């Protein structure tokens, strides 16, 4: 007798935060005979993804890679360790280590079967060729600093095949991810970069996902005519820079010995006239830094390289997955940079409203830079705004709709739409977590609240979900709780 999965679940998430719940979702999949589809945005422009975007263009792949690697089964530990590895923070050492990936001398290859190692090496060889075609030292170079090997592999595979989906498929196959049960779907399928902007209630506009969620001093490109030159000499300080000075008018040009094309300006994958903030690498930032925003975020939108608003189409496979699903789960993570970029895509809100029966929002265990001062109701309002905005036919109507439902006089409009997108709200009861009034939530919004008692993380004071309790609650909502497990009154409370 075949055991064909009878239920389908879609999870909206970003990368690192939701990775902590992958085991919960895997357990839910096994106990309830489900398939899982993760819908993940491609607007990430921080870390090593930013350098890949600067040089090659293409989608932000950091969150996609993070989820794919997290899904690699423990039985394939050598591959998991390989794709999870990062090159050193020193540009010189990182470049040297990348060369060991090309000549197969890297110790990372030792536990990997030869056929897989040669296939992986071929992808890196192609990436290396593409890098060599683009560099114009010392002005235009590629910085391997802290690069995630998985990001390098996905980029090389995309450039080789011309398909982002093919690159995802290749990493999943090598990693042993069962795509018949678990799919990782980019919210947008494209070989181009897609950036987002955030509008704050005080009129401020922040451009780029990394600037919204993780404030940092970007690795800025220089203003002409002074061009920083990253040293590639191991004998020098790897972080040291020199400055190229063009010849003064009337002076003799300097003799070019090492870099005959050093007078060339920086060339990268960004179009002329692109916003400078989108052109700069964001190699160094802290995910733990929660510098408050000057004002709350009012909405999120996509922009082209020149900063103009646009409405890209979603991945058709993501839309189909939502429409065929029994439940959608909005996972933990950054509200405006992990969830919103997927929810605002054309037609996503309509698919959620008319597709799955259960729509479950899992609140974070703590507040972050994007949600300072938020209560549970504020998270609901944000999801409603994003889903409603996705149904707008033009940018102007999107703005009008957002302005309308942001007005407190139109809160009834939000309430009347909320249950179309959210049926259940799961939250942690703790002073550091968003507060929720369950009675009001049900009476005024028609949304069922599910309270859990979490635990503190080992490395910080942020609250974490108890995985077993969360799995029980999700199973109970779907109607298939494991009868062998009993809910603990001090762990969860439904109703």
pLDDT at position 199, please? Answer: 95
- Cis link prior to 188 (omega < 30° from 0)? no
Torsion angles phi and psi, residue 367, rounded to 5: -95, 155
Torsion angles phi and psi, residue 303, rounded to 5: -130, 155
Tokens of 15: 């990368």
Q: State the angle between helix axes of 438-445 and 376-389 in degrees (0 to 180), rounded to the nearest 10.
A: 30
Could you tell me which residues come within 8 angstroms of residue 479 by beta carbon, excluding any fewer than 6 positions away? none
CB atoms within 10 A of CB 430: 17
Query: DSSP of 95-134, one letter per residue?
Result: HHHHHHHHTT--GGGTTS-HHHHHHHHHHHHHHHHHHHHH
Question: 3-state SS string over 152-184?
Answer: HHHHHHHHHHCCHHHHHHHHHHHHCCCCCCEEE
pLDDT at position 310, please? Answer: 93
pLDDT at position 392, please? Answer: 67
Q: b vs e for 69-101, b when ≥16 Cβ sit within 10 Å of the residue's Cβ? A: bbbbeeebebbbebbebbbbebbbebbebbeeb
Largest CA distance in the chain: 87
* Low pLDDT (below 50) residues in the chain: 1, 217-247, 249, 251-263, 393-409, 480-492, 494-495
CA dist 412 and 399 (Å) reads 19
The residue written with tokens 């974490």 in the block is 464
- Under DSSP, the state recorded for 431 is T
CA dist 27 and 312 (Å) reads 34
Please check whether residue 212 is in contact with residue 198, taking contact to mean a CB–CB distance below 8 angstroms.
yes
Q: What is the pTM of this model?
A: 0.84
CA dist 394 and 400 (Å) reads 10
Closest CA to 42 of 196, 273, 215: 196
pLDDT at position 215, please? Answer: 65
Tokens of 84: 């999870």
Burial group, residue 247, by CB count within 10 angstroms (0-12, 13-18, 19+): exposed
pLDDT at position 138, please? Answer: 75
pLDDT at position 141, please? Answer: 87
Could you tell me which residues come within 8 angstroms of residue 276 by beta carbon, excluding any fewer than 6 positions away? 220, 221
């Amino acid at each position: 007798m075949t055991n064909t999965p009878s239920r389908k679940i879609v999870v909206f998430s970003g990368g690192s935060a939701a990775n902590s719940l992958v085991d919960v979702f895997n357990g839910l999949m096994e106990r309830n005979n489900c398939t899982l589809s993760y819908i993940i945005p491609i607007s990430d422009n921080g870390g090593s993804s930013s350098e890949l975007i600067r040089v090659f263009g293409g989608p932000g792949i950091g969150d996609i890679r993070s989820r794919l690697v997290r899904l690699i089964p423990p039985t394939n530990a050598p591959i998991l360790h390989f794709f999870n590895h990062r090159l050193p923070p020193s540009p010189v050492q990182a470049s040297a280590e990348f060369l060991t990936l090309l000549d197969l001398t890297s110790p990372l290859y030792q536990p990997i079967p030869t056929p897989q190692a040669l296939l992986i090496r071929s992808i890196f060889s192609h990436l290396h060729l593409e890098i060599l075609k683009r560099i114009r030292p010392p002005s235009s170079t590629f910085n391997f600093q802290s690069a995630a090997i998985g990001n390098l592999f996905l980029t090389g595979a995309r450039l080789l095949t011309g398909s982002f989906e093919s690159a995802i498929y290749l990493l999943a196959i090598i990693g042993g991810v069962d795509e018949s049960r678990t799919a990782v779907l980019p919210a947008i399928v494209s070989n181009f970069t897609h950036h987002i902007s955030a509008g704050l209630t005080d009129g401020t506009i922040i451009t780029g996902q990394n600037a919204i969620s993780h404030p940092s001093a970007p690795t800025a490109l220089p203003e002409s005519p002074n061009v920083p030159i990253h040293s590639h000499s191991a004998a020098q300080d790897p972080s040291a820079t020199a400055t190229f000075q063009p010849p003064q008018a009337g002076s003799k040009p300097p003799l070019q010995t090492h870099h005959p094309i050093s007078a060339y300006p920086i060339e990268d994958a960004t179009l002329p006239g692109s916003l400078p903030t989108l052109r700069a690498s964001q190699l160094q930032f802290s995910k733990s830094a929660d510098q408050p925003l000057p004002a709350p975020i009012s909405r999120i939108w996509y922009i082209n390289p020149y900063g103009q608003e646009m409405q890209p189409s979603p991945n058709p496979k993501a839309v189909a997955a939502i429409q065929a699903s029994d439940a959608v789960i909005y996972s933990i993570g950054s509200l405006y940079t992990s969830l919103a970029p997927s929810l605002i895509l054309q037609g996503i809100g309509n698919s959620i409203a008319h597709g799955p029966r259960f729509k479950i929002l899992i609140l974070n265990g703590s507040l972050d830079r994007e949600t300072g001062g938020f209560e549970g109701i504020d998270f609901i309002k944000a999801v409603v705004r994003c889903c409603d905005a996705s149904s707008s036919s033009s940018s102007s109507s999107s703005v009008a709709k957002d302005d309308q439902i942001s007005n407190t006089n139109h809160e009834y409009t939000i309430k009347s739409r909320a249950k179309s997108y959210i049926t259940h709200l799961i939250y942690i009861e703790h002073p550091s977590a968003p507060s929720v009034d369950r009675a009001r939530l049900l009476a005024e919004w028609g949304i069922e609240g599910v309270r859990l008692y979490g635990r503190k993380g080992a490395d910080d004071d942020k609250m974490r979900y108890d995985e077993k309790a969360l799995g029980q609650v999700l199973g109970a909502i779907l109607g298939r709780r494991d009868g062998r497990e009993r809910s603990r009154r001090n762990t969860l409370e439904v109703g």
